Structure 1
């Protein structure tokens, strides 16, 4: 098992543009309420997987919501697990390899693809995609199953983006979750990762 490394949060660079801020806020509240010992145990239990790039920069390839929640909670350090060292790759070669391994996803809050220059330098710069939160809440409610498929939540977010009207109030969000749970079990969602057949 790879060794865990404790890093300053500002040393961890994102590989995507967005996060679902409702999901981030849930995590922030959770971490902010933990004692120092419980926080340390929780972070060790869920290390952020990173790739080492040029000049010893560490790029998160998952757990962006966790990282942003820690930032919002003013928790300055996190534990990471190095899954690959690509530090010998320079310039575009690094990002080409990251893309080939499906470790970078520079889509904005509208689901539009950008160049890697659009990715913020720090996790604190991640912008809100409300449909990422919707996808997370639907998954947590059992609408689909968690899967290791790359960018599964992005795929679900884009699926809901074209079918569920954007909400402006908590009650509208709750209604959106219920609508999305129903949609997640529909034939339209059949090819999405984690699809769960409708229960009789």
Structure 2
């Protein structure tokens, strides 16, 4: 795998939100690591990107990792050069629809509303909280398979869970919300979602 160290500030998000509870948990775990351990963790998780208009790098995964690293005081990550698509020849108005069609962006807000691509922030620091993403991450591997690498999978499951429960439940009793999510993940209504396990689990 070919990779190079880059500034997190030079990586542009491809989504509007992330799970801030998950970010805080990751930052706490990483803050407890020694420098050598943290360096090894970061090097082992290179960020896949697309080269967009004007040569800008658009990250298509590891938004949570980057935000957590910033909380830990680290400003660099490794870019996965081998996985990079070069779409720098495109104009911005061509780039975002191409990213959307390829499943490499998520212009959906925490309320499930689709937003203009221009609303996607330029920096991972500006991403806002999505409790549904936090919920989906909390049940990943139990409610749905962890080995499925579909981009934005947790967002898709979060949107599914959102149709059955209130945000207040997640905010006041995350454990209960996760128990409910595990039951909801078994329903036939979820069978088209990536990583579906169903009643076989």
Establish whether TM, by shorter chain, passes 0.5. Answer: yes
Asked if the contact 1:49/1:60 (under 8 Å) is kept, the reply is yes
- The aligned runs of 1:1-200 (5 Å cut-off) are 1=1, 3-82=2-81, 83-140=84-141, 142-146=142-146, 147-167=148-168, 172-199=173-200
- The Cα of 1:165 is off from its aligned counterpart by 2.3
- The Cα of 1:138 is off from its aligned counterpart by 0.9
- The Cα of 1:195 is off from its aligned counterpart by 1.0
Name the count of aligned residue pairs: 198
- The Cα of 1:171 is off from its aligned counterpart by 6.2
Partner SS, residue 6 of structure 1: strand
Q: Distance in 1 between matches of 2:113 and 2:188?
A: 25
TM-score, normalised to structure 2, is 0.91
Q: Distance in 2 between matches of 1:199 and 1:150?
A: 24
Q: Distance in 2 between matches of 1:7 and 1:37?
A: 18
Q: Distance in 2 between matches of 1:59 and 1:138?
A: 28
CA offsets 1:49-80 (integer angstroms, 9 cap, x no match): 11112333111001111111112222111111
Q: Distance in 2 between matches of 1:167 and 1:75?
A: 33
CA offsets 1:133-158 (integer angstroms, 9 cap, x no match): 00000114x11112122322111001
TM-score, normalised to structure 1, is 0.92
Partner SS, residue 51 of structure 1: strand
List runs of 5+ in structure 1 lacking aligned partners: none
Asked if the contact 1:52/1:85 (under 8 Å) is kept, the reply is yes
Q: Distance in 2 between matches of 1:61 and 1:41?
A: 21
List runs of 5+ in structure 2 lacking aligned partners: none
Taking structure 1 as reference, are residues 97 and 171 closer, same or farther at Cα in structure 2, changes over 3 Å only? closer
